[in-house]
Structure formats: structure tokens, C-alpha cells
Amino acid sequence: MSQLSNVEPFKRVSVLGAGAWGTALALNAVRAGRDVVLWGRNHENLQSISGTRQLPAYLPDITFDQPLETTTDVTEAADADCILLVAPAQSTRKIAEDIGFYVKKGTPVILAAKGLEKGTQRMMSEVLSDYLPQAVPAILSGPSFAADVARGLPTAVTIAAGSHPLAERLCATLSNTSFRPYASTDMIGVQLGGALKNVLAIACGIVVGKKLGASAHAALMTRGFAEMQRLALKAGARADTLMGLSGFGDVALSCSNAQSRNFSFGFALGDGKDLSELLAPGAKLSEGAFTARVATELADRFDVEMPIAQAVADVLDRKSSIDEAVTRLMSRPLRRESDHH
């Protein structure tokens, strides 16, 4: 087993995106002993972070245990040994375009969004390559809530890169006594695990919000995880990755906990809240709401059946009511559990 104690970490780390997850990861990097700068566009939020060590808009009731240096200057943020790009999946392209000119060749850029790009069906590493071909992509994913990381509660994640030495160096850069990253080279598996579990979390939230029972919830999680595996394996992921933190681990967290934005989104739908209200500007972001239809498009491309993702996409596209979607799922032809269809 590879030990990372002798791996030299990167010293200067910049975090692009001063929302809940970006701020939490910046705090974590400071705890790991790195020189950190946090970049964002909202002056008020940045002043709150650097002045009062709080971010009430995204991390209420938390006072940070470490000071954070903040900036709105993209050139300053790009001048780092290692960059964490922490933006929603559908915004990743724009930020990559904004910083593309300033990032030095060979700089590792860790992508922390769990989603697939609408319209292109591309993973975040593929999006990054359009505007930052000189950068070296990496992925951070796994069972982690921003509030837990911001508070310094124990958390374990996966960091994937194109080579083991880089993945291990990035793990050493962000590791501390409360944050334990595991290295991987399966960038496809880590990205698809994080993106697809958001769709499943919406489905699980719907079941709980509609009070369909604990048995239905358990069955949905299990069958949903099976269809996640089918697609990811066809796309080139490794089976052990999907059974790890960025696959099963993230499903276990996000599909059963109200702290999950995707689960909460689904719960509100199941409880009768109007979809338009949940998707309105200013509403809490649910990455799975964007990823659901993309997942079905990928399933068509790889000739994989994903009935649960299809049901979620149809509900979100208003092609089906929740009751109709549940009936359709329960009426599917009977088959062996191990069938890969």
C-alpha cells in the first residue's frame, strides 16, 4: 500500500468559488498548512469571510477557526501551485474561460463540481480541457457536506488524477487530521459516481417526501446504485471506484440525509412543492436537476437502461407526474436481479 507521508505537498493553493463548498475547502487547505487565497465575485460575501470569519448566506451559524485571504482578482487567484475550481457544473465552463489565459502550464486544477454539462453531456474534466488545455485536471469527490468540512468534522473523499504521483501529491496537499483524501487514477469513475448519485438522491427524496415507506426507499437506493454502476462501467469506470467513497459512499450520504440539496429538492417535490418554485432563481442549487436528462442521454449513447434516472428526468421535464413515474417503475417486466439490462 502506498504511503503518502513522504510526498511533498503543493504550497500555494487557490480556491475559485466562495460559496459553501469552496469556502469549506479553502478552510480545510489552511488547516493543512497551505498558503491559501479564496477567489469570488461577491464583495459582500468575501468581506464577511475575511472580516468576521463567517459566511451566513451559505454557512449559517458557523464561525471559521482559521482566517482566510480573499480576492476578486482572477490573476492573483490563478497564480498558485494548485487550484481548486469549486463552481456548479453548469458554471465551470465560464470560470475556466475567465482564468484560462492566466493559469501556468502544468498547474493542477482540482474540479469539485458533481455534475455533467447540459447540452454537451461532458464531464467536468472534458469541459476544463476546452479552456485550460495547459492545466492538469484532477477530481475531488466523495461523501462530504460543506458544513461538516467547514466545522472540521471528520470527512473522507477521493482525489483522482491522471497519474498516481499527482493524485498522491494532491492528497498530501489537502490532508489534515479531520480531512482524509484517498488517491485514485479513475477520473471517469469518480466523476460519474458524483454526478449520477445526485439524480438518485432526488429520486430518494421524492420517495421519502411522498411517504412511500422505508422499504421503497431502500429498494430505490439499491436499484438506483445498480443502474449507476451499469452506466459508469460502460463509460470506462472501474468497479472498485464505484464501490468506494465517490460511488457507494456518496450514495449512502446523499440519498438518505436532508442536508443533501438533491435529497431535499426531491423531498420537496414529493411533498407537493411546485417544481417552478424549486427551480426559480435564488433557490438552492440541485446539481441533479440538471444532470438527470444528461444521464438518460448518456444511457442511450451507451445502450444502458436507467429507468430510475429516466423517471426523475421525466418528472423534472414535466413529461410525467410522480404517481405515473412510480407506477411505471413498479410495472416494469420482472427479471433476475443480476441481469445487466
CB 136 within 8 A of CB 82: no
In 3-state terms the chain splits into helix, strand, coil percentages (rounded to 5) of: 50, 15, 40
All cell numbers assigned to 223: 436499484
Q: What is the DSSP letter of 2?
A: -
Integer CA distances (angstroms), 99 to 102, 133, 316, 329, 333, in order: 6, 12, 33, 44, 50
CB 64 within 8 A of CB 54: yes
- Give me the DSSP letters along 161-208: ESSHHHHHHHHHHH-BTTEEEEEES-HHHHHHHHHHHHHHHHHHHHHH
All cell numbers assigned to 236: 470506462
Q: What's the order of all strands across the beta sheet hosting 69-71?
A: 69-71, 35-39, 12-16, 82-85, 108-111, 136-141, 155-161, 179-184
- Residues 71/68/48/138 CA torsion (nearest 10 deg): 70
Active-site residue (options: 105, 114, 197, 210): 197
Integer CA distances (angstroms), 39 to 77, 161, 293, in order: 6, 23, 31
The gap between the terminal CA atoms of the chain, to the nearest Å, is 36
Integer CA distances (angstroms), 256 to 27, 184, 226, 259, 269, in order: 26, 26, 17, 9, 15
Type of residue at 80? A
197 is catalytic: yes
Type of residue at 207? V
Q: Which residue has the cell 469506470?
A: 237
- Strands, E assignment, 40-135: 69-71, 82-85, 108-111
Catalytic residue ranges? 197
